[in-house]
Amino acid sequence: MFDKEVAKRMVGSPMEAGITEDDIREFARELNQYDYYSIICDQFNIDLARKLFRKPRVGVMVSYPFGGMTTETKVRLTEIAVEKGCSEINLCPDYVAIKSGNFEKAKKDLEAVYKAADNKLDIVLVPMVGFMSLGEIKAICDMCLEVGIHIVKTNAGLGLSQSEYEHIRYIKRIYGDKMQIEVSGGVRDVKQAQEFIKLGADRVHTSTWKGVIGI
């Protein structure tokens, strides 16, 4: 059953292997019939997305999905996103540094990107909670707030990891309204989306948007 409140919180993502411009046009034609929050696309589809999608909020991925880009590359991609008039970037941090316990290195990486964004777009950090311990999730969120980032997206999607209800409960319990939460990874139907929102998620990021909003 269609849920317009879920739809308002949805971040659509026309990103998958083999996608064509015609696929993106069809994605936009169908999605534009509904209310939604924003669209996230690849860098080379920014101009097309800004033309096709009704909502002005268009964002791009940076260092997606493995966080393996250098800081210099992340900074330049962020600058391009600003130049193109994007509303946000979804930033994958330095996962190797985080899993190695080198949070100072990971923080410096984030600080450089935050400076490049120059308060002209939202930075949505992707902690990849499916691969992190609760302690690591807390350390990442603490690091975000210290830098000035107030939005986390749970996973990169693409079947790499799953969001669990406990992740939302955990982040919400510790940070409350200080941290916005965007759920991504394994959300396939409206009941799942409703439960995540009930637990405190602000938005739901999905490539399978029809099932998520209940149509």
Domain ranges for the chain: 4-213
How far is it, in rounded angstroms, from Cα 114 to Cα 81? 13
Cα–Cα distances (Å) from 27 to 12, 119, 151, in that order, read 9, 30, 26
Please compute Rg for the chain using Cα positions: 16
pLDDT computed for residue 48 by the predictor: 95
4-213 — its CATH code?
3.20.20.70
Q: C-alpha angle 15/21/24, rounded to 5°?
A: 50
For residue 83, name the pLDDT band (cuts at 50, 70, 90).
very high
pLDDT in tens, 188-214: 999 999 999 999 999 999 888 999 999
Let me know: does 200 contact 168? Beta carbons within 8 Å. yes
**Percent of the chain as helix, strand, coil, to the nearest 5:** 50, 15, 35
pLDDT computed for residue 186 by the predictor: 85
pLDDT computed for residue 171 by the predictor: 98
How far is it, in rounded angstroms, from Cα 8 to Cα 105? 36
Does pLDDT of 161 surpass 80? no
Check the CA dihedral 10-13-16-18 and report its sign: positive
Does pLDDT of 165 surpass 90? yes
| pTM passes above 0.85 | yes
What stretch of H or E contains 209? helix 209-213
Alpha-helical (H) ranges within 4-133 are 4-8, 21-31, 46-52, 71-83, 95-99, 103-117
Does pLDDT of 151 surpass 90? yes
Share of the chain above pLDDT 90, in %: 90
pLDDT computed for residue 190 by the predictor: 96
Please state the length of the chain: 215
Place of tokens 């992340």: 74
**Whole-number mean pLDDT of the chain?**
95
Beta bridge partners of 26: none
pLDDT computed for residue 207 by the predictor: 84
pLDDT computed for residue 163 by the predictor: 87
For residue 15, name the pLDDT band (cuts at 50, 70, 90).
confident
For residue 101, name the pLDDT band (cuts at 50, 70, 90).
very high
Does pLDDT of 158 surpass 90? no
DSSP state letters, 30-64: HHTTS--SEEEE-GGGHHHHHHH-SSS-EEEEEST
